Structure 1
Amino acid sequence: MAEKLSHIKLLVLLVLSISVSYTEQFQSSQTQTLLRIQHLLNYPPFLKSWNNVTDFCNMEPNSTLTIVCYEGSITQLHIIGDEGAPRLPNNFSIDSFVTTLVMLPSLTVLRLVSLGLWGSLPSKLTRLSSLEILNLTSNFFHGTIPPEISSLTRLQTLILDRNNFTGGLANSLDSLSALAVLSVKNNSLYGSLSDSLGNLENLRVLALSNNKFSGEVPDLSSLANLQILDLENNALGPRFPAVGNKIERIVLRKNEFTFGIPQEVQSYNQLEHLDISSNGFVGPFPASLLSLPSIAYVNIADNKFTGMLFEDLPCNPDLDFVNFSSNLLTGKLPSCLRPGSRNRVVLYAGNCLVSGDNNQHLISFCKNEALAVGIIPHHEKRKVISKIALALSVTGGIIVAIIVVGIVILVVRNFIAQRAGHEPPSRFVEENASTSYTSKVLRDARYITRATKLGALGLPAYRTFSLEELEEATNNFDTSTFIGEGTHDQMYRGQLKDGSFVTIICLKMKRYHGIQHFMPHIEIMSKLRHHHLISSLGHCFEYYLDDSSISRVFLVFEYVPNGTLRSWISEKQIKRKLTWAQRIAAVIGVAKEPCCKNLQLQPAFARRVHGKRASPKFSQWIE
């Protein structure tokens, strides 16, 4: 019996000795790994005390260095250098550095900030499969963010701010189901934002500011936990992002948002910080934002917001900063924002407010500037016909008509040119077209760029007209300039100051829809610039400064003096009618053009092309 107990004791001692030996070897291995990191970082001052006898797991943490161990293994490594640290020497190898890092397999937190690291981030970093927090801020990493990073399925925080990353965000990011913070600020990332961002259901912070992202912001309304959305200084737009009602901070400053603020924003009861300055927002500013229960910061400066402010508008008592500067607001500054009401900053210069000081625009400027974005002041309240979304039916019909007339113009021009032989071809739209390119070359998109083709048309850039310009062009819409009318529109012939003739279509609107419902169709028309088609040159909105409701829309097109499609197809006095072969060839040619492919996305256009009536709901949008 005693001999048996002796054997058991020997076995226990053997296991303990092996365990201690393994632990010592493991700790020694971790020590060598950290010393190797010290060497690769070029022995920064705050790491010079490291040596072979340093007890890394029991070091006192500080602002530059923190090492956390669990059961003898290093689980957290925080190394923070001086802000603005220079790039490491040319003999530094990011591949060797990451190869060394992955020898700490238990790491869950890795922060390497302002250390001068440079190079393309190796995908082998994903071998640290236990990582939950990765922060590589303020280094010199370049190239694309490796898509393999999406294999770090435990990752909760990814911060790559202030580097030189390029390319886009990987579509596979939606596999990071635990991700709560995604921050890639101050890089050179570009391209559109993937819809997969809307699948990161645990995301709380999305910070993409100071990059080169463009296009629409994907729908983020399904991100129920999203609290911070920072998209400053990109080229995103034109629609205001859709987010959940738990949002606390929205920063859209310096982008290309042009629509209005959606009604849903007025229900963001946890919103504290709203900065949408330096964009192209139009339409009425919802003053109720000033009284949201959590709001403390509002900046809408440098936009084209309209609407009237009233003295008795309520404000949140905790509102500390308000900037209305450089808009087209009218009325009076709310009493809750006036100096002395509390210690807050309020900026409102460059509007049309009755303020009693000299920092507002003159009445004449307010009128002219308002007209430039389609506003005409009226001092008496009257019934306003304003439902902007009418464009899906009316604009659809107009554009289809333009396309068909453009087809006929092209075919007739070519037909006459063939018959005339030696006579130079003439364009049926009054313009100063360039003769640098033949019609054959212009028709073939393979030979020249779209920009060159548009330049060859000799057309001005699409722009916003003021109502005064249109009134001057038509002699105040004199009856002598009247061309015709439809059920919901009137058409006038005008001559601009530069001598060019235009066709102006006036559409009357119904109420209840904001400008955001009409702008997509304005954008489509502005892009239909092609030698086969009559081009839209611009638009003007007419509405009132007191309630910002829109009454009329003016659409400005090239003037076509050569009759209608019907006349060139069926009227008897036209001797050279178009053959079916010519008509079909022209239609196919237009359909193949890149500028016309967007029409396939518009159901109203498709219905009109096939000779069917538009959906009944479209007809309810016009007066």
Structure 2
Amino acid sequence: MLIFYSLRALQYLLCFTRVLILCTQQMAKAFRYSAILLCVVLVLLISGSEQLQSSQGETLLRIQRLLNYPSSLSSWNSSIDFCNSEPNASVTVACYEKSITQLHIVGNKGTPLLPGNFSIDSFVTTVVGLPTLKVLTLVSLGLWGPLPGKIARLSSLEILNMSSNFLYDAIPQELSSLSGLQSLGLDDNMFAGKVPNWIGSLQVLSVLSLRKNMLNGSLPDSLSTLENLRVLALAHNYFKGEVPDLSSLTNLQVLDLEDNAFGPQFPQLGNKLVSLVLSRNKFRDGLPAEVTSYYQLQRLDLSNNTFVGPFPQSLLSLPSVTYLNIADNKFTGMLFENQSCSADLEFVDLSSNLMTGHMPNCLLQDSKKKALYAGNCLATGDQDQHPISICRNEALAVGILPQQKKRKPSKAIIAISVIGGIVGGIALVGLIFLAVRKVKSGKTIQKSTIRLIAENASTGYPTKLLSDARYISQTMKLGALGLPAYRTFSLEELEEATNNFDTSAFMGEGSQGQIYRGRLKDGSFVVIRCLKMKRSHGTHNFMHHIELISKLRHRHLVSALGHGFEYYLDDSSVSRIFLVFEYVPNGTLRSWISGNP
């Protein structure tokens, strides 16, 4: 170091001598005073330039010491010309007009923590000694501690990447002052807290990457104001709730939300996406139709969620798609052998869903395409498949219903509405019954013999009312309900209970469907109402009424025990709805109201 400064002093002396000789010659001329002034200015400029370079070089050498002399900086020494040094994958120093504008230092993957005497505050204080920095990359260097807000003193910063370190606590608010920041990468650290709302103030931000941290909570709505955002990577954190509306981000190309708790709604997005990764979250609802218009989409990963509803087969033929993964969801629908596929498609995983039909030939006959599809109900034998009844019953058990456009109320919907009204009427009749019973408290009610509903139908009361009201059992009157929890019945259970809906179990038919009596495996008798559905009928309106019926539990009301579905195999739409009620054979409703068995 002493030799370096001695040589530098000698250079100054020689330069000054040359300038002095020139000045002496000029002094012999008429404008000797102007020449002297010029000489002084030149000497100061040369000295100032050398001092600036020396100052920045000293800053870099101090950074080397603070980083504990990593192998990536082993070539740095006091004699190196940093601005003209050869860049490599680990270290790059770029200059403009003798000022350092870019600094890239990348250590080895898995670099441990720097020693305990390391101070992140001192380190950042040293780094901001390079005030002209526009690009700062400090990756895998073992940095640890809270990121000091003073890093925002690098006011010209456009790209900041401090990934793969051990930085923790919240992202400092001072970063909001970096109005020119275009890329912020803080992946693989231990940052905690929420993504701050001030992130929306970085209006030229195009890349925001916060993968593998400990960030949590919901995302701020201010993300939707970042119109220049091209990459949003938030994978492997602890985020939850709905994703903000990102449809206004027309430049967004990469969205990576893997391994969080987002959901249940599919996010609202623009159609210029190239990569969309939503795997390992809590998305449940069906896919919106807009997904099939992502013509630039190359990678789509929806795996390990609970998506329901029909799988849009047109995703296989998106013109740019190369990777498609929908494994471990509840997608339904029928695949066809003649389904077309994108020529660029390389990998498809349809495993562990509820799909039927045949695998498309374009996936099976092209050796360049890898296809996984085990765990469905496909008629393809080379990967494990379930019986078709498994997919059908499981789909109905989780409440998967095809999404239909809004239509005018159909007869079936009107019918179920009438059922709701009848249930309300039953409740009113129950109250009347209590009043009558109180008046006739001295009378003893005798048990009636077991009779079918049809045998006890009175001309004074509509058959459908009596069949809905059923009979009030002695057990119900005593207040001991003892009913099982409301549940979903499989079609096989109902067929077995009614001997495949044999005529001997048939009890009657009205405007609201057929009525059957059945006996479950546990020996209990039930009444099953069957409502036929046309393909044009939407079924989502029925779920509200079914939910209301399932909650009605009173000792003076016949309770609903569950429901089941049967659906068309070709498009998974519901063909019949079964409502299962308690069967109480101890007389008619009229007999209990009047007190005459």
Alignment of 1:483-562 (within 5 A): 543-551=567-575
Matches within 5 A, 1:159-558: 159-339=185-365, 341-357=366-382, 359-374=384-399, 430=481, 466-467=490-491, 543-551=567-575
Structure 1 range deviating more: 548-557 or 62-71: 548-557
Deviates more, 1:192-201 or 1:543-552: 543-552
Aligned match of 1:569: none
2:171 corresponds to which residue? 145
Q: How far apart are the structure 2 equivalents of 1:491 and 1:5?
A: 121
Change (3 A) 1:187 1:499: farther
- The 3 A distance-change label for structure 1 pair 374 and 170 is closer
Q: Aligned equivalents of 1:537 and 1:182: distance in 2?
A: 52
* 2:435 matched residue in structure 1: none
CA gap 1:80/1:283 in 2 versus in 1, 3 angstroms? same
Q: Is the 8 A contact 1:488 1:507 kept in 2?
A: yes
The structure-2 alpha-carbon separation of the partners of 1:243 and 1:387, relative to structure 1 and needing over 3 Å to count, comes to: closer
Work out which of the residue numbers 103, 110, 120 in structure 2 matches 1:94.
120
Preserved contact between residue 385 and residue 551 of structure 1 (Cα < 8 Å) = no
Residues 189 and 67 of structure 1: is their aligned pair in 2 closer, same or farther, counting only changes over 3 Å?
Answer: same
The Cα of 1:133 is off from its aligned counterpart by 0.8
Q: Secondary structure at the match of 1:307?
A: strand
In the alignment, structure 1 residue 55 sits paired with structure 2 residue 81? yes
Cα distance in structure 1, aligned partners of 2:271 and 2:535: 27
Q: What residue ranges of structure 2 are gaps of 5+ in the alignment? A: 1-25, 431-476, 585-592
Q: d(CA) in 2 for partners of 1:77 and 1:252?
A: 34
Distance 1:507 1:146 in 2: 61
1:26 matched to 2:52:
yes
Counterparts in 2 of 1:538 and 1:29: CA distance versus 1, 3 Å: farther
Corresponding residue SS for 2:222? helix
Shift of 1:502: 11
Distance 1:317 1:331, change over 3 A: same
Give, in angstroms, the shift of residue 76 of structure 1: 0.6
Show the counterpart of 1:435: none
Q: What's the CA shift for 1:19?
A: 2.3
Change (3 A) 1:510 1:354: closer
> Aligned equivalents of 1:278 and 1:367: distance in 2?
20
> Cα gap change, 1:69/1:272 in structure 2, threshold over 3 Å: closer, same or farther?
same
Q: Which residue of structure 2 aligns with residue 612 of structure 1?
A: none
1:149-206 CA-partner distances (Å, limit 9, x unpaired)? 2221111111111111111111111111111111111112111122211111011111
Q: Is the 8 A contact 2:356 2:388 kept in 1?
A: no
SS at match of 2:150: helix
Aligned-partner Cα distance in 2 for 1:14–1:491 = 111
The structure whose RCO (Cα within 8 Å, separation 6+) is larger is 1
1:552-607, CA deviations, whole angstroms, 9 ceiling, x for partnerless residues?
677999x9x9xxxxxxxxxx99xxxxxxxxxxxxxxxxxxxxxxxxxxxxxxxxxx
Pairwise CA distance, 1:25: 2.1
Is 1:121 aligned to 2:150, yes or no? no
**1:127 shift after superposition:** 1.4
Contact 1:68 1:76 survives alignment (8 Å):
yes
Q: Corresponding residue for 1:454?
A: none
Match of 2:444 in 1: none
The amino acid across from 1:297 in the alignment is Y
* Counterpart contact for 2:272–2:297, Cα < 8 Å: yes
In 2: Cα distance, 1:25 partner to 1:131 partner: 24
Rg larger in 1 or in 2?
2
Q: What secondary structure is seen at the aligned counterpart in 2 of 1:51?
A: coil
Q: 1:496 to 1:77 in 2, by over 3 A?
A: farther
CA distance in 2 between partners of 1:331 and 1:182 (Å): 42
Q: Structure 1, residues 74-100: CA drift from partner, whole Å, max 9, x if none?
A: 111100000011111111111111111
Instruction: Indicate how the Cα distance of structure 1 residues 463 and 54 shifts in structure 2: closer, same or farther if over 3 A, else same.
Output: farther
In the aligned structure 1, how far is the partner of 2:93 from the partner of 2:66? 18
Distance 1:258 1:508, change over 3 A: farther
Measure the CA separation in 1 of the matches of 2:110 and 2:403: 58
Percent identity, aligned pairs only, is 59
1:159, 1:222 → 2: CA distance? 23
CA distance in 2, matches of 1:94, 1:232: 30
Name the structure 1 match of 2:472. Answer: none
Q: CA deviation at 1:269?
A: 0.8
Superimposed CA distance per residue, residues 309-332 of structure 1 (whole angstroms, 9 cap, x where no aligned partner): 111111111111111111121111
Measure the CA separation in 2 of the matches of 1:18 and 1:385: 78
2:134 maps to 1:108: yes
What does residue 68 of structure 1 align with?
94
Deviation at 1:544, TM superposition (A): 2.9
TM-score of the aligned structures, taking structure 2 as reference length:
0.71
- Measured against aligned partners, the alpha-carbon deviations of 1:228-254 in whole angstroms (never above 9, x if no partner) come to 111111111112222111111111111
Counterparts of 2:231 and 2:520, CA distance in 1:
50
**RMSD, aligned α-carbons:** 5.0
Question: Please, what TM-score do these two structures have when normalized by structure 1?
Answer: 0.68
CA contact (8 A) 1:385 1:511 kept: no
2:525 and 2:174 mapped to 1: Cα distance? 58
Cα distance 1:540–1:282, how it changes in 2: closer, same or farther (>3 A)? farther
CA distance in 1, matches of 2:134, 2:527: 67
Answer yes or no: is the 8 Å Cα contact 1:525–1:536 preserved in 2: no
Q: 1:286 to 1:23 in 2, by over 3 A?
A: same
Cα 1:205/1:430, change in 2 over 3 Å:
farther
| Counterpart contact for 1:387–1:509, Cα < 8 Å | no
SS in 1 for 2:94: strand
Tell me if structure 2 keeps the 8 A contact 1:375–1:544.
no
AA paired with 2:41? V
After superposition, the Cα gap between the structure-2 partners of 1:20 and 1:505, relative to the gap in structure 1 and judged at 3 Å, is farther
- The 8 Å contact of residues 430 and 501 in structure 1, kept in 2 or not, is answered as no
Cα distance, 1:488 vs structure 2: 8.8
Task: Summarize the alignment of residues 543-582 of structure 1 with structure 2, pairs less than 5 Å apart.
Answer: 543-551=567-575
Equivalent residues of 1:147, 1:172 under 8 A apart:
yes
Q: Which amino acid is 2:568 matched to?
A: Y
Q: Quickly say closer, same or farther: Cα 1:375–1:247, change in 2 above 3 A.
A: closer
CA 472–280 in structure 1, closer or farther in 2 if over 3 Å, else same:
farther
- The verdict on how the C-alpha distance between 1:169 and 1:271 changes in structure 2, with shifts beyond 3 A counting, is same
Q: CA–CA distance in 2 between the matches of 1:333 and 1:267? A: 23
Q: Is the 8 A contact 1:237 1:255 kept in 2?
A: yes
Deviations 1:468-525 (A, max 9, x none): 567789999999x99xx9999999999998999999999987877999x789979x99
